[in-house]
Amino acid sequence: MRNEIWTIQAMRAVAAAMVVLHHAIRAFGAKADAGATTAPWFFADVPQWNFLVIGVDLFFVISGFIMVHTTPQKYGAMAAFRFLVRRVIRIYPLWWMALMIPIAGALAAYWKSGYVDAYVLSWHRIVSSILLFPSMAESGHLQPIVGVGWTLSYEMLFYLAFAVALMLGRRTALIAGALLVTVLMGAMASGSSADLISFLANPIYLEFIFGMALGAAWNAGRLPKMSIWLGVVAIVAAVIIGAQVPEDSSFRFVCMGVPACTVIWCALSLAGTKPWAGAVRLGGASYAMYLFHMPVIFWLVLKPALLVKIGLNSPLLLDFYILASVALSVIVGCVLHALVERPVQSALVSSIFGTAKHTNTALEPTKG
């Protein structure tokens, strides 16, 4: 990994941890609301922890940065092909593995009791989830079978658009970027609620563009250092705004995207400092953490009967249990990264590009 951007890898670890903690808090909050457990003490007020969703926004900004940083002055059909194939290799194999879990669970329930989970066992849902095509839940929100995959649908579409721009050339890429911003703003103003239009018009795409702007300035050597104090201010702003603004707000790119961009800018300003190996390794496993933390939380540590059985049902102990579920998610992510993600990715890169060199995970995108 190039040391000058080790902080980007560290921010991926931070972003993944924030998402995992947010989902653990929400899951325990739902159990407490249902009366299955007592409410945690420190993590009791779920809305006050909504700022943790900025982890997803950090991932989007990082992805935009990485796309530009790893493809400087590379245009044409071959550059576009290599870029897109590497992203497919990075995203899909582990995603398909994660997708097998709920599908296998639904099939097991069907064989055992005849119960059909229409949310999972639907050809439309299965195919769209496999391909990461937009798939809307009954609530109207973008949500494939594995819920966290909604961010991957946005990432893949943006990767496709970026690949087309690479193929067409630099000037066309700039024009396409300007047109994208115009279309997003126009669709936002129209307030359309149609599923596909809603997906395409989500201004969260602007967070990728924030990252791309950072990447372009970084590659050109024109990115000024950002004061760390501004990063602190950005985090404080996200904490305050996060408790007030819904996650699906049309202005999320302002409320969370701008603070996320500021934080990544600050991280880049620290890129020349001594790397922290632990953060780098955790950043490499962040994608596996992101995809597999929900099964860990729900299937391994969210059984109310288990809590009662082991006497872990007091508010303060539940706080520690939430943190333990996060730690376990990190461990599972690291194991899957080492035993599955990296070997599979290396094998695919070797077979397609004729090299055994492992794709640098520090320079690859991850989700949110």
- Residue 276, by phi and psi: left (phi above 0), alpha (psi -120 to 50) or beta? beta
Q: What is the pTM of this model?
A: 0.87
In 3D space, the residue among 4, 16, 3 whose CA is nearest the CA of residue 365 turns out to be 16
The pLDDT of residue 358: 46
Residue 57 lies in a domain: yes
Write b or e for each residue in 118-131: b if 16 or more Cβ atoms lie within 10 A of its Cβ, otherwise e: eebbbeebbebbee
The pLDDT of residue 237: 83
Structural domain range at position 23? 3-363
One-letter amino acid of 35: G
The pLDDT of residue 195: 59
Q: How far apart are CA 346 and CA 250, in angstroms?
A: 39
The total of other beta-carbon atoms located within 10 Å of residue 107's CB is: 13
Residues of the chain predicted below pLDDT 50: 1-3, 188-193, 356-368
Residue 261 lies in a domain: yes
The pLDDT of residue 3: 39
Q: Which residues contact 251 (CB under 8 A, 6 or more apart)?
A: 203, 245
Give the pLDDT confidence of 40-58 residue by residue, as tens digits.
888 887 778 888 999 999 9
Number of domains in the chain: 1
Give the pLDDT confidence of 9-51 residue by residue, as tens digits.
999 999 999 999 999 998 888 777 666 677 788 888 777 888 8
Residue 288 lies in a domain: yes
What burial class does residue 143 get, using C-beta atoms within 10 Å of its C-beta: 0-12 exposed, 13-18 middle, 19+ buried?
buried
Residue 368 lies in a domain: no
The pLDDT of residue 41: 85
The pLDDT of residue 239: 79
Contact 126, 96 (CB under 8 A): no
Q: How far apart are CA 126 and CA 120, in angstroms?
A: 7
CA angle 150, 153, 155 (to 5 degrees): 110
